[in-house]
Amino acid sequence: MLPHYALAVDLGGTKVEAALVDESGVVLAVSRHRAPTGPLKTADELAAAVESVVIRARASLPTGASLLGVGIGTAGPITVETGTVSPLNLPAWRDYPFRDFVAALVPETPVRLRLDGLCITLAEHWLGAGQGAGSLMGMVVSTGVGGGLILGGTTVSGSSGNAGHIGHIEVGGFDDPCACGGTGCLEAVASGPRTVAWARAQGWTGVTGEDLSAAYAAGDPIAVAAVKRCGQAIGQAIASATNLLDLDVVAIGGGFSHVTPDLFDFVRAAVAERTVFSFATRVRVVASALSGDGPLIGAAALIHRADLVA
């Protein structure tokens, strides 16, 4: 019996990717395609990139197999009711009708769009580190910081679709300006680029997150301080979210989360400072158990695990 597939689309600040994903969460390798995005792209260039990967992925559907639907995970903000998107790092798209654009490329197929952080959380709950958790927050620490929520076994999107955006929670003790207009937002403090920028402002001479990882491993004091600062901010944000939502598990992925395994020790130490409230300190902070397929698996889960999606 041939499998049923979802066509998964993941749109971010540097690339858009699409692939077919089966009911077990396995990505069909030959269907996987990506194209660059970025803040300098025009609206038409972004649309062409999306069209290219979606059409090529759809064309890889095995003969006789069925396509159940299209799941889209996207950088936000979004408006889930209208399917429009305004990704912070893609300024050419403001209130862009992304869901309808993709639906026109795959006629007569249901299309569901949600925030990328929510999709990652779905993937962790389905196949990753959040399996069995009733109340879960997924986090991505990379070019930005995003997140999503499953509470009581059901996703929480909020009225606009932007619930769970932990990257724009303001963290006490930090005054870093954020592109959203806030001050001390977690993303402005703890994302990969902003952590590197902070280290460079202290006199460190590296350029990339990979450079910072190597410098940390070598014991460079500025690199160590930068990673500790990042972990402190993430831990404070998790502690705040746990006090608000009574979380069981927080699963953290994304490229910069791999800067060093010690990052998780710094995060957990900041959470543990809340010594009075046992419910807040019992939250388990774990590394993502997903590979680089996580965003695509999460987008596909919008179709394959529709029972969890509010």
What pLDDT was estimated at residue 275? 67
Give the single-character DSSP code of 190.
H
One-letter amino acid at 283 equals V
pLDDT in tens, the chain (310 residues): 778 999 999 999 889 999 999 999 999 999 999 999 999 999 999 999 999 999 999 999 999 999 999 999 999 899 999 999 999 889 999 999 999 999 999 999 999 999 999 999 999 999 999 999 999 999 999 888 999 999 998 999 999 999 999 999 999 999 999 988 999 999 999 999 999 999 999 999 999 999 999 999 999 999 999 999 999 999 999 999 999 999 999 999 988 999 999 999 999 999 998 767 788 888 999 999 887 899 999 999 999 998 888 7
pTM metric for this prediction? 0.89
Torsion angle of the four alpha carbons 179, 185, 188, 190, in this order, in degrees rounded to the nearest 10: -160
Give the single-character DSSP code of 173.
T
Burial category of 159 from C-beta neighbours within 10 Å (exposed 0-12, middle 13-18, buried 19 and up): exposed
SS3 309: coil
CA distance 158 to 310: 9
CA distance 14 to 6: 23
What pLDDT was estimated at residue 277? 79
CA distance 153 to 77: 24
Residue whose entry in the numeric block shows the structure tokens 């569901």: 112
Give the single-character DSSP code of 259.
S
What pLDDT was estimated at residue 50? 98
According to DSSP, the residues that pair with 36 across neighbouring strands are 15
> What are the structure tokens assigned to 75, written together?
């950088």
Provide DSSP, 116-158: HHHHHHHHHHHHSTTTT-SSEEEEEESSSEEEEEEETTEEE-T
